[in-house]
A and B are shown apart, each in its own frame.
Chain A
């Protein structure tokens, strides 16, 4: 009889501690959203390297919210503790409340709480940038430094979106800054800025940023076509000059010194990007360069994806703010593209028709997707036109541009 009672008690204990009792109904909505995102990542291959871990982190946290629990202190009566431990005293700090002596027993946090520290302390995004730097060839940018201007013009989306977010009236200035950075079309930068300015919005902002980056081939072409004439889209650009190894080695060093001195808040991102690039271009540390682009990058991607996804609990995600973020993110991408293309048109006019304005759209970053889009739209008009390498210039300039814009937002709004 006692055994049966024990069995029933145990069953009841398992039931009451299960997710079915403790979970908020909103968590089930989030589980559905996570499943949709998993579908998009696996079946449609929308930025799967990040969307898959993000979606799974989202699933995990809504099934078991305790996985992100912060470490806490449990209070237990000293007498209870000793009774449970055959009279042995514990070595915990004690506190006396209303005449009773309690032990303060520390409990550990959830798994993702610890992994999330890399996001919270701003460690993962710069490490991802290290890998990106080791993978990026700045040659097209060095060969055509004017590309920098297109990378700057495409940041227009960030600042326009900031105004839009403030105008909605439901966001604080810090939140608006974090939403605006979606327009940088650069996942790590968006996460870095948000982790500093508005960490509670990390989930929706990361999801919006990565989703729109995956949708660049759908978002950009209509804007690019609307703002350019057929004649402009058909412009064939001169072949880029070859870039020497010395120039490629000097580039990361000069960029780091200049940007870090001017804008210290951008130094962690730009510094790591350029360190990775120097490791690549110097040619003397191929082992660590390979590690940065492969193993390290992959490990950090897993941690970053899962923990950022795990910030999207039902309570945080299912708010009118998230809808606002999704809409503003689209505006940010649109204005960024338009800014780049319009500046490209200006440069086209000034250069006497030597620059194809389509490459301006690649200035939004989203490497290398945005450059591929410029290539495709250009080739649709003129099949013998190859804009890819020309578009890579503004594309990588956009990465530096959005890191600088991030520095500006952090320095003003923090």
Chain B
């Protein structure tokens, strides 16, 4: 190594390339090794804690299973009402809401489309909004 450096420091081009190569390789190597180790022990710890919980949790699965069911129920009619499938009362409610929010400046509502189902519930979204606002 000292030999290499003695040669390298004489020539700026070789030194620059040496630094580029060594730097990128070492930084990547160290962080790749860290990635591997963190993944490995992450899995071990995760599995260990899950195993420890499993015997106790044998009765529990029914409770979490029940929870998604009511959440799915309100979503079911939503699938049917695509664009022209939206019932008249909802269109009336949306029109009233738009009028309230925008005032008289809106002359007509051209289309009503369902937004894509959000990854979070509205309440979850409100919570995230609240917590990330300072940033």
Contact = CB atoms under 8 A, between A and B. Distances in A.
Contact of B38 (A145, A153, A372, A386): A145
From DSSP, what is the main secondary structure of chain A's interface residues? helix
Interface stretch (B17-25, B58-66, B94-102): B17-25
Contact of B45 (A149, A244, A258, A262): A244
Interface of A: 141-142, 145-146, 148-149, 151-153, 155-156, 158-160, 162-163, 166-167, 169, 173, 177, 180, 236, 239, 241, 243-244, 246-247, 250-251, 254-255, 258-259, 262-263, 368, 372, 375, 384, 386, 388, 397, 400-401, 404-405, 408-409, 412-413
B132 A412 contact: no
Contacts of B27: 152, 155, 401, 404-405, 408
Given A145-B34, A145-B39, A152 B28 contact: yes
B20 A160 contact: yes
A169 B12 CA distance: 9
A90 B6 CA distance: 52
A209 B19 CA distance: 21
Nearest to A386: B128
25 contacts: A141-B38, A142-B38, A142-B42, A145-B36, A146-B35, A149-B28, A149-B31, A152-B30, A153-B28, A159-B20, A160-B20, A162-B20, A162-B23, A167-B12, A173-B12, A241-B46, A254-B34, A254-B38, A384-B120, A384-B125, A404-B31, A408-B19, A408-B22, A408-B23, A412-B18
Nearest to A379: B132
B26 A247 contact: no
Interface of B: 5, 9, 12-13, 15-20, 22-24, 26-28, 30-39, 41-42, 45-46, 49, 118-120, 125, 128, 132, 135
Contacts of A255: 34
A16 B64 CA distance: 84
Given A166-B15, A401-B31, A159 B24 contact: yes
Contact of B24 (A155, A177, A368): A155
Given A159-B20, A255-B34, A408 B41 contact: no
B132 A388 contact: yes
A159 B27 CA distance: 11
B19 A159 contact: yes
A152 B13 CA distance: 23
Contacts of A412: 5, 18-19, 22
Contacts of B42: 142, 145, 243, 247
Contacts of B33: 258
B23 A372 contact: no
A159 B23 contact: yes
B31 A258 contact: no
Contacts of B37: 254, 258
Nearest to A165: B16
B103 to A, nearest CB: 23
A152 B25 CA distance: 10
A149 B27 CA distance: 9
Nearest to B132: A388
A339 to B, nearest CB: 9
Nearest 5 CB-CB pairings of A with B: A145-B38, A148-B31, A152-B31, A163-B16, A159-B23
Nearest to A236: B119
